[in-house]
Amino acid sequence: MTAEVVRVSVPPMSGSHDVRAIKVVLHRELLRFVNDRTRMVSMLIQPVLWLFVMGTGLGTLVRGVIPGVDYRTFMYPGMISMTVIMTAMFSAGSIVWDREFGFLREMLVAPVGRGSIVVGKCLGGAVVATAQGVIILAMAGLVGVPYEPGLIVTLLGEMFLAAFTITAFGVLLAARMRNMQSFFGVMQMAIMPMMFLSGAMFPLANLPSWLHVLTTVNPLTYAVDPMRQAVFGHLDVPDQVGAILNPGVTWFGWQLPVIMELGLVAVVGAGLLGVAVTQFSRTE
């Protein structure tokens, strides 16, 4: 081969290099998502089942009790959260997959801060989960939720925030996991109770006090509630029904404003991200 050799001189590391690294890790997550149709479909089936099968079934049971609102409408914001949470968790789990198949090593030996890789991964998980949530958003009309631009934008933002935090949580879990089975085992164990206690499936009003305490300390509650508030804000519901189905979160009788709930989710997300970065920055 006589061709001229193309020589590359790699510039010293800089902030823009880290941004490039974040972007490419994010880009890969998106490529993987777009290429993996099976995953997209399987992630969708569960909430659709909940919404239209469970929601319809339970709805007939409670129809007399809560007048004026379809039970499925109540479940809708919960199902958005559930979809987003599951997708975000799966995205985070791909770090374990990357470790098993060696690709994680390719990322970890690169001359970039581990922080860039973790941030790229979390952003990737958040974008993918939000994209998945969009499909559920598209079904709004089927359960009597109006397609209003303000509502859609609010929900998208809230979905993204929730997804980012959950991905950070998942990445942190994945930091020490060596195989997919154990990751999914731990994930089920952590996510299932959090989901049940988040208000995604039943209203958090008039619960026994022990259950009320658990729902209040569950961080997911603060990710699910703003979405329900947003949806109910655009519905025409009698006050007493709203009070049952959309009670909000109260701390010792004080109702938390949505902005504080979102702030809380953001702070938890940032904290988890920080711990995840330190976990990945360790070397033997």
Partner 1 sequence: MDAAVSVRGLKKTYGKVEAVKGVDFDVAPGEVFGFLGPNGAGKTTTISMLCTLITPTGGTATVAGHDVVTERGRVRQNIGLVFQDPTLDGYLTAEQNLRFHAELYGVPKAVLGDRLRQVMEMVALWDRKDSKVMTFSGGMKRRLEIARGLLHSPRVLFLDEPTVGLDPQTRSAIWGYINKLRLTEDITIFMTTHYMEEAEFCDRIAIIDHGEIVVVDSPEALKASIGEDRVQIQTGDDERAIALLRERFGIEAAVREGQVTFAVASGEAFVPRLFAELGLPIRSVSVSRPSLDDVFMSYTGSTIRDAESGDGNAWMRAMARGR
41 contacts partner 1 (rule: CB under 8 A): no
Between 28 and 212, CB nearer to partner 1: 28
DSSP string across 118-165: HHHHHHHHHHHHHHHHHHHHTTGGGGT----HHHHHHHHHHHHHHHHH
Q: Which is nearer to partner 1, 188 or 281 (CB)?
A: 281
How many Å apart are CA 246 and CA 182, to the nearest integer? 36
Residue 82 · residue 47 · CB < 8 Å: yes
Q: Of the listed pieces 4-12, 180-188, 233-241, 257-265, which binds partner 1 according to CB under 8 A?
A: 4-12
**Least distance in Å: CB of 9 to partner 1?**
7
List the beta strands (DSSP E) in the chain: 250-251, 254-255
Task: Kindly determine how many residues on this chain lie close enough to bind partner 1 according to the rule CB under 8 A.
Answer: 36
273 and 114 Cβ atoms separated by less than 8 Å: no
* Binding letters toward partner 1, positions 70-109, x by CB under 8 A: ----------------------------x--xxx-xxxxx
The rounded distance, in Å, linking the Cα atoms of 70 and 235 is: 11
Contact between 26 and partner 1 by CB under 8 A: the answer reads no
To the nearest 10 degrees (0 to 180), the angle between helices 114-137 and 37-48 is 50
Q: Which is nearer to partner 1, 103 or 160 (CB)?
A: 103
39 binds partner 1 (CB under 8 A): no
Least distance to partner 1 from the beta carbon of 174, Å?
Answer: 16
Contact of 234 with 148, CB cutoff 8 Å:
yes
Q: Does 37 interact with partner 1 (rule: CB under 8 A)?
A: no
Q: Does 178 bind partner 1 (CB under 8 A)?
A: no
| x-marked contacts with partner 1 along 111-140 as a string, rule CB under 8 A | xx----------------------------
